[in-house]
Amino acid sequence: MALEKLPSNIRVHVVGAGPVGLLLTALLQRMEHVSVHLYEKRREYTRTRMVQLAPYLVADSVESYRADSIDGDSVEAIFDPPELHHGLTFRQSIPPDLMTLLKSWTLGFCPLNVIERAIGDLIDARGLQNVERKAALVTPEDAIAMLRPGDMLIDSTGSKSLLRDRLVPGGDGHEDANTHKVRLEYALVITFLYGQPYDCNEYCKYFKNAENARYKFIPMVHRTHYDGQVSHVTGIVNISAEEYEAMPSRVDGTWLRGNFPLVAQSMDRFIDCVKQETHGEILGDLEVVRIPLDLYRARNATNRQWLAAGANSHPFASSPVFLAGDSAIGSPYFQSISLGFECAMFLAGLVAERDLPLNDILDRYELFIYKQWLRVYMRSKMIKHNKDLFECLDDRLALLQKLHIY
Ligand SMILES: Cc1cc2nc3c(=O)[nH]c(=O)nc-3n(C[C@H](O)[C@H](O)[C@H](O)COP(=O)(O)OP(=O)(O)OC[C@H]3O[C@@H](n4cnc5c(N)ncnc54)[C@H](O)[C@@H]3O)c2cc1C
């Protein structure tokens, strides 16, 4: 491999200024001898869906890092103690302006575009000259052409990643060149606003769906948030592949009632139960987004195969390329941003260790991404399994068929 270490003055191209690209930029911005070019195709941040960051992102001890009830044990099984300590040490080096924001987003819900704008504003407000933001739709050819030998390229362009399927020699952009995908289910993600405090737990989910034989609205535990005036409630209704195909990607309650009355009736029954309990009203309409719930990963999260192949005029043979955020791993069930932020922190930590051989940087990032994949794969399968059981709790035979003990 021609390039043995990252250059002492390094130019990093971050393509995609969604939450993960922005976080990476904010982390790299505070490092000496690093300059960042951040490219974004959108003119404005308009995604208003409510998201929350996982508390493990700001953990200050191994105990708090693995406090999650679903995968706390997996974390200890997958990661070795030095790896966990390494991650916690990097968190302690995160500048206070950024850490304060991260902590606030683990406490309650926040619109996605508020997170994007806040990190963008922080980058601008620091008044440092080492970040250049460019409004541009970057093509794969642009990305390849912008690389000078030794430059670093980070693809944080989201689930439809610009470079994921070009990261291996011969990968020509076809979806399976470097992507492994598991389709868990098709779902409607339904959000509504409610004019009273409303909190949800597993009992609530069960009893409010008691009359819903086929379509159950399953709000996430902790997926409701009261901001002093309204509760934001988000949950999932499982639908079939045929129903998914027959729907536009985004609809409202009126459309749902006219076209999928059985789904709408289940929603309305659930909401009636909420109203009987807390005597409030729905504010506005339902917001319904249909999505396939996919788990996927890049088999290679870096271009180390290009670099290992040696002498070649292709820029990927002389510059390291990394995938971060939804570009590298995608997961359903409201956990993806946290996973992307975790990977961004790890990658920034590697860039900070300037004496590491490039081979080590690439290998460590690949291993880290693979371990995060194991963790989120097991976590997502567990959530899906629990959902499947929940949906047939009153049908003992159906329930037993889903319980494979050995
Ligand atoms: C309905 C729905 C609800 C969700 N709810 C949650 C939740 O509650 N919690 C959670 O953790 N996650 C949630 N997610 C997932 C979450 O939104 C993503 O995990 C997160 O946005 C990924 O961040 P990212 O920065 O990796 O990618 P993205 O957010 O996709 O950002 C990629 C950025 O790259 C830009 N870009 C793409 N291509 C190019 C190009 N060629 N040139 C220049 N710029 C480009 C895009 O404009 C975008 O700004 C939800 C997703 C959906 C669809």
pLDDT, one tens digit per residue, over 280-327 is: 999 999 999 999 999 999 999 999 999 998 777 889 999 999 999 999
267 closest CA partner among 329, 318, 333, 217: 217
- What mean pLDDT do residues 17-25 have? 98
Q: What are phi and psi of 38, to 5 degrees?
A: -110, 120
Q: Atom 41, ligand 1: which residue's CA is nearest?
A: 138
Find the 49 Cα to ligand 1 centroid distance in Å: 11
Question: Which atom of ligand 1 is least distant from the CA of 21?
Answer: 25
Q: Choose the residue to mutate in 14, 27, 46, 49 for probing ligand 1, maximizing ligand atoms within 8 Å of C-beta.
A: 49
With a 6 Å cutoff on the Cβ, whether 156 touches ligand 1 is yes
pLDDT at 14: 98
For ligand 1, say whether the CB of 328 is within 6 Å of any of its atoms: no
pLDDT at 202 over 90: no
Ligand 1, atom nearest to 47 Cα: 17
Q: What is the dihedral of CA 171, 172, 175, 177, to 10 degrees?
A: -20
**pLDDT attached to residue 221:** 61
Kindly state if the Cβ of 189 falls inside 6 Å of ligand 1: yes
Ligand 1 centre distance from Cα of residue 272 (Å):
33
pTM of the full predicted structure?
0.94
Least confident of 125-134, 198-207, 348-357: 198-207
Q: How many CB atoms lie within 10 A of CB 9?
A: 10
pLDDT at 1 over 60: no
- Ligand 1 within 6 A of 17 CB? yes
For residue 164, how far is its CA from the centre of ligand 1 (angstroms)?
15
Residue 223 reports pLDDT greater than 60: no
Q: Which atom of ligand 1 is nearest to the CA of 50?
A: 8
- Grade residue 2 by pLDDT with cuts at 50, 70 and 90: low
Amino acid 63: pLDDT: 92
The stretch 140-169 carries a mean pLDDT of 95
Res 220: pLDDT: 76
Residue 222: per-residue pLDDT:
62
Question: In the predicted model, what is the mean pLDDT of residues 196-213?
Answer: 89
pLDDT, tens digit, for every residue of 27-54?
999 999 999 999 999 999 999 888 889 9
Per-residue pLDDT, 224: 59
Q: For position 199, what pLDDT does the model report? A: 81
Q: What is the pLDDT of residue 101?
A: 97
Mean pLDDT of 327-344: 95
